[in-house]
């Protein structure tokens, strides 16, 4: 499917992004800008792990859809509940 080289490259990138996340914390950005950047990095890492290590990129899209529906349900719960007390 894909070579060990690609897996290794992804591993290196993931490692670097994890480090970057902590550095952002100390970069002195405005709080919410920092939060957005950190969560964006987490999401990017998640997509890379799911896409290549779990090889979702090479599976029928329906599988990704199943997982995304679960994710959507969780997000609806989280945001609607939080919004309800704002």
Partner 1 sequence: MNDETRHRTEPDGGHTTDGGHASAGERTTDGEHETDGGRATDGGHATAGDELDPSRIDGHADAAEEAFPPLGSIKRWFVTTNHKDIGILYTLTALFFLVFGGVLALLMRVQLWTPGGNFLSPLSYNQAVTAHGLLMVFWFLSPFAFGFANYVVPLQIGAKDLAFPRLNALSYWLYLFSGVLFGVSFFQGQSLAGGWTMYAPLNLPTYMPNVGATTAILALVLFVASVTVSSVNFLTTMHRMRAEGLTYWRLPLFTWTILLTVWMMLFAFAALLAALLILTSDRLLGTTYFAAEGSGSLLWAHLFWFFGHPEVYIVFFPALGVMAETFQTFTGRRLVGRKWFILAMILVAVQSFAVWMHHMFLTGINLQVKTLFMATTIGISLPFDLMVFALIYTMIKGRIRFTTPFLFSFGALVLFIIGGITGVFLGAIVLDYEFRGTYWVVAHFHYVMVGGVTALIGGLYYWFPKMTGRMYDEWLGKVHFGLFFVGFNLLYFPMFLAWETPRRVIEYDPAFVTWHQLATVGAFVLGASFLVMFWNLSRSLFVGEEAGDNPWEFATTAEWAVPSPPPLENFPGTPSYGSGSLRFLTTERALTPGEGSGGAPGVADGGTTAAVGGIDHDLDSRGLGGHDPDRSHDPNHGHESHASVWPFVVGLASFVVFLGLSGFRDGGLPPGMEGGIYAGIAVVGTAFLAFALVGMARQRFRGPAGPFGESWPFDGVENTKLGVWIFLASDVVLFGAFIGAYVFTRVAHGWVDWHVVPHDPTPGLVNTYLLLTSSFSVVLALVAAEKGSRYGLLAGLTATLVLGVGFLANKAIEWNELFHEGLTLSSSVETSTFYLTTGLHGAHVLVGLLIVLYMMGRAARGAYLDDERPVEYFGLYWHFVDIVWLFLFPLFYII
Under the binding rule (CB under 8 A), the answer on residue 85 touching partner 1 is: yes
What residues from 10 to 49 belong to the interface with partner 1 (CB under 8 A)? 11, 14-15, 18-19, 21-22, 25, 31, 34-35, 38-39, 42, 45-46, 49
Beta carbon of residue 28, minimum distance to partner 1 (angstroms, whole number): 14
CB of 6 to partner 1, least distance (A): 10
Residues whose CB falls within 8 Å of the CB of residue 37, separated by 6 or more in sequence, listed in order:
24, 29
DSSP designation for 58: G
Tokens 């950005």, located at residue: 29
Cα(77)–Cα(62) distance, integer angstroms: 23
Structure tokens at 40: 């964006």
Question: Shortest distance, CB of residue 57 to partner 1, whole angstroms?
Answer: 13
Q: Which is nearer to partner 1, 28 or 75 (CB)?
A: 75
């Amino acid at each position: 499917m894909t070579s060990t080289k690609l897996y290794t490259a992804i591993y290196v990138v993931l490692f670097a992004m994890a480090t970057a996340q902590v550095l952002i914390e100390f970069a002195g950005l405005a709080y919410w800008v920092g939060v957005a950047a950190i969560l964006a990095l987490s999401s990017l890492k998640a997509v890379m792990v799911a896409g290549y290590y779990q090889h979702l990129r090479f599976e029928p899209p329906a599988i990704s859809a199943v997982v995304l529906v679960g994710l959507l349900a969780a997000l609806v719960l989280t945001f609607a509940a939080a919004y309800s007390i704002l």
